[in-house]
Amino acid sequence: MKHPHISKRYWNSQTTAMGASGDLLELYPNLINFSLGDPDLTTDSRIIEAAFKDALDGYTHYTNFYGMVELREALVDYYKEEYDYKLAIDEIMITTSGCHAMWLVLEAILDDGDEVIIPSPHFTPYPSQVKLARGIPVFLDLLEDEDYQIDGDRLEALITNRTKAIILNSPCNPTGASLTRKTMEEIAKIVEKHDLVVIADDIYTKFSFTEPFIPFTTLEGMRERTITIGSFSKDYAMTGWRIGYILSHPQMINVIKDINENNVFTAPSISQRAALHGLRLRDEIQPPMIEEYKNRVFCAYGRLKELKNVSILPPKGTFYLFPNIKATGLSSQEVADRLLKEAQVLVIPGHAFGEIGEGYIRLAVTVGEDIINEAFDRIAKMDIFK
């Protein structure tokens, strides 16, 4: 929007399909919402009650600038117990969400004009986040017939003298794909060869269905080259608490802390306490939650396979599905529009996740199986899927 009071950088800004989806919720009273990755499960009551008690006990002030010491110590224990990976407390910074963490990381590492390789289809905000930090996004196409694995030759062909980093998101939003160890090791060799930084956006660590999750930073030689972003939003059903963290070497963490002092100062104290309780209760809280979402994803996957003009790979991780709808002969936007108008089912068109996403739609399977089946009962009546 052109306006003399608005920075020229934003005159051509456009609301994404994901961002615009919220405006549609009130227009369709019987809407079934597969648009946003916000689980319908409320944060476990034990976390809420413990954090509430902490607030009453006075945890309502600024915390340590790097994040509450107790929480960072708990993350040290977590990575040792889960991955046999030894962290130090000065390698951890608590942030106000994973998205905030991504901005802080990019702001810390990029000089003007540095390039960041983004495997695509990609999480919608990545390109704008790179641009906000004065970088240039470069897209690496991921192909369905390659199981959305990163091809080493195509990756190397994109690397220039200005390439600074590559963003890895596995399991992936929107495709649900997970990188194999073989793929990750090939990426690690390329990263070392070209002196790159890996930004590992490890948001769906507990939603890896087909093989155990492997933090990229644990691969040989990758500790010093990997900046890990973690979040409590999905793994703990805590999206509204807006709490995440960054793992990196102490010099990087110190710079990120200094940047954050000019941004939000410290992450919310109550959210940090909630995250601490979530870590302590994870063995009780997470297994039934993960199983519930796995069942939902495979329920929706089974219903998608029944539809004409739709194809889809078996789910590997996350609670997203990325079906191929090219056989309908319609664009992603046209299919999404018809799903909304004819079935009152809201999805995100695939092109919202990069040009390579055209011909697909994304479903965030964040509702119960009864609602999933109701949605697909409606969809099955549409001419394009019969």
Report the CATH number that the domain containing residue 124 is assigned in CATH. Answer: 3.40.640.10
Residue 141 sits in the same domain as residue 240? yes
- Does residue 53 fall inside a structural domain? no
Residue 349 sits in the same domain as residue 212? no
- Does residue 71 fall inside a structural domain? yes
Average pLDDT of the chain, as a whole number: 95
Residue 131 sits in the same domain as residue 170? yes
User: What is the residue range of 325's domain?
Assistant: 8-43+285-385
Bridge partners of 196? Answer: none
As a whole number of Å, the end-to-end CA separation of the chain is 42
Helix 98-109 and helix 250-261, axial crossing angle in degrees, nearest 10: 110
Q: Count up the domains in the chain and report the number.
A: 2
- Taking residues 284-304, what's their average pLDDT? 97
Instruction: Pick the last residue of a domain from 282, 317, 345.
Output: 282
Residue 329 sits in the same domain as residue 241? no
pLDDT in tens, 58-110: 999 999 999 999 999 999 999 999 999 999 999 999 999 999 999 999 999 99
Query: Whole-angstrom Cα distance, residue 310 to residue 325?
Result: 5
Residue 248 sits in the same domain as residue 318? no
The arrangement of strands across the sheet holding 92-95 comes to: 92-95, 244-247, 226-231, 197-202, 163-168, 115-120, 136-141
Global confidence as pTM: 0.94
For the purposes of burial, counting CB atoms within 10 Å of the CB of 365, is it exposed (0-12), middle (13-18) or buried (19 or more)? buried
Residue 132 sits in the same domain as residue 254? yes
Query: Whole-angstrom Cα distance, residue 38 to residue 113?
Result: 34
Query: Whole-angstrom Cα distance, residue 16 to residue 11?
Result: 15
Instruction: Pick the last residue of a domain from 262, 282, 302.
Output: 282
Residue 24: pLDDT over 80 = no
Query: Whole-angstrom Cα distance, residue 16 to residue 25?
Result: 16
- Does residue 373 fall inside a structural domain? yes
Bridge partners of 173? Answer: none
pLDDT in tens, 184-221: 999 999 999 999 999 999 999 999 998 899 999 999 99
Bridge partners of 115? Answer: 136, 163
* CA gyration radius, the chain: 21
Instruction: Pick the last residue of a domain from 282, 311, 328.
Output: 282
Residue 267 sits in the same domain as residue 289? no
- Does residue 96 fall inside a structural domain? yes
Residue 143 sits in the same domain as residue 64? yes
Residue 23 sits in the same domain as residue 118? no
pLDDT in tens, 144-174: 999 999 999 999 999 999 999 999 999 999 9
Q: Cis peptide before 121, with omega less than 30 degrees from 0?
A: yes
CA 265 → CA 43, 46, 106, 252, distances in Å? 25, 28, 18, 17
Residue 203 sits in the same domain as residue 83? yes
Structure confidence at residue 28 (pLDDT):
78
Residue 276 sits in the same domain as residue 132? yes
